[in-house]
């Protein structure tokens, strides 16, 4: 049985005090109200990680939003996997479209990041997704399949088993326009088939594929009920404890 995971990507939001307050609220309400077998991940900015790790427990895990490709050394301003581990991190978001767009992250660079995260024993949440133009041009399936092929398909099946995929159509991120359940389910099924073509049905069936992009308490129940959607990567709605909890509770 594959794991259901709802992760909150705080992006570059919350000062320390606000972040600690939010993490505490989420942790408390998850404990009181969430009965399903879902894993909850808080992907905070780097500076919050150590503090938040002391505020969470049980189903609630810690995630980072990025890391560097090298183990240590003269790389001013970067953060290594070992540092993340020492802060209590379990997951690392890699290849978010914002990092691809604003920081020039390529599929090849992401393959290196995937390697270093897995070597360090952490789990990548690997993001993929197309722009509106790419969807309108009809190249979205090929493009997203290619993102997986180029950044992940060098992995052994054993290593791939630790990868979480997040499908985030770029046109749905922060826009209030979510993918329809049909569009999301269609892409998730195509991704699972692509994984099966490389690693076999067993591995594909066990792979968690999250949906991200304007996911909120209203649309989450229908999205999460789709057979190939195994949770969400939540931006805006993860910044308010009540909203985030209501998204998490949409997992049955
Ligand atoms: P929104 O939920 O704000 O659309 O952001 C989605 C996202 O980018 C999560 O990584």
Task: State yes or no: pLDDT of 1 exceeds 90.
Answer: no
1 vs 210, residue with greater confidence: 210
pLDDT for the residue 240: 98
pLDDT for the residue 21: 98
Mean of pLDDT values over 205-217: 98
Mean of pLDDT values over 117-122: 98
From 39, 98, 105, 168, active-site residue: 168
Share of the chain above pLDDT 70, in %: 100
Contacts (Cβ under 8 Å, ≥6 apart) of 34: 40, 59, 245, 248, 249
pLDDT for the residue 195: 98
- Which CATH number fits the domain that encloses residue 57? 3.20.20.70
Give tens-digit pLDDT for 16-58.
Answer: 999 999 999 999 999 999 999 999 999 999 999 999 999 999 9
pLDDT for the residue 176: 87
Q: Is 168 a catalytic residue?
A: yes
Q: Which long-range contacts (CB under 8 A, 24 or more apart) does 103-111 make?
A: 107/146, 107/147, 107/150, 107/151, 108/150, 108/151, 109/69, 110/150, 110/151, 111/150, 111/151, 111/152, 111/154
Give tens-digit pLDDT for 126-162.
Answer: 999 999 999 999 999 999 999 999 999 999 999 999 9
Separation of 200 CA from ligand 1 center, angstroms?
A: 30
- The ligand 1 atom at the shortest distance from the C-alpha of residue 172 is 4
Q: Is 194 a catalytic residue?
A: no
Ligand 1 and 235: CB distance under 6 A: yes
- The ligand 1 atom at the shortest distance from the C-alpha of residue 175 is 4
248: alpha, beta or left? (left if phi > 0; alpha if psi -120 to 50)? alpha
Range of the domain at 240: 4-248
- The ligand 1 atom at the shortest distance from the C-alpha of residue 173 is 4
Residue with the smallest CA separation from ligand 1 atom 9 is: 235
Mean of pLDDT values over 97-115: 98
Q: Is the dihedral of CA 178, 39, 57, 62 positive or negative?
A: negative
What integer best gives the mean pLDDT of the chain? 97
Separation of 129 CA from ligand 1 center, angstroms?
A: 12
Q: How many domains does the chain have?
A: 1
pLDDT for the residue 206: 98
Separation of 142 CA from ligand 1 center, angstroms?
A: 22
pLDDT for the residue 175: 92
178 vs 209, residue with greater confidence: 209
């Amino acid at each position: 049985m594959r794991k259901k995971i709802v992760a909150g990507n705080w992006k570059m939001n919350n000062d320390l005090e606000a972040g600690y307050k939010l993490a505490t609220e989420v942790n408390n309400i998850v404990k009181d109200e969430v009965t399903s077998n879902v894993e909850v991940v808080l992907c905070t900015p780097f500076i919050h990680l150590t503090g938040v790790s002391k505020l969470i427990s049980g189903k609630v895990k810690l995630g980072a939003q990025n890391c560097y490709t090298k183990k240590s050394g003269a790389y001013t301003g970067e953060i290594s996997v070992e540092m993340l581990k020492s802060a209590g991190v379990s997951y690392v978001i890699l290849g978010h479209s914002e990092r691809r767009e604003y920081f020039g992250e390529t599929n090849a660079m992401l393959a290196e990041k995937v390697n270093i995260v897995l070597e360090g024993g952490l789990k990548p949440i690997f993001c993929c997704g197309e722009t509106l133009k790419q969807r309108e041009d009809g190249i979205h399936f090929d493009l997203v399949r290619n993102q997986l092929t180029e950044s992940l398909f060098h992995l052994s099946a054993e290593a791939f088993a630790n990868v979480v995929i997040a499908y985030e159509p770029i046109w749905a991120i922060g826009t209030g326009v979510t993918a329809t359940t049909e569009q999301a389910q269609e892409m998730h099924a195509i991704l699972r088939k692509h994984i099966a073509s490389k690693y076999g049905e067993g591995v594909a069936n066990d792979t968690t594929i999250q949906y991200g992009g304007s996911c909120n308490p209203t649309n989450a129940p229908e999205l999460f009920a789709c057979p190939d959607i195994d949770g969400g990567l939540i931006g805006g709605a993860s910044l308010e404890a009540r909203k985030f909890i209501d998204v998490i509770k949409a997992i049955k």
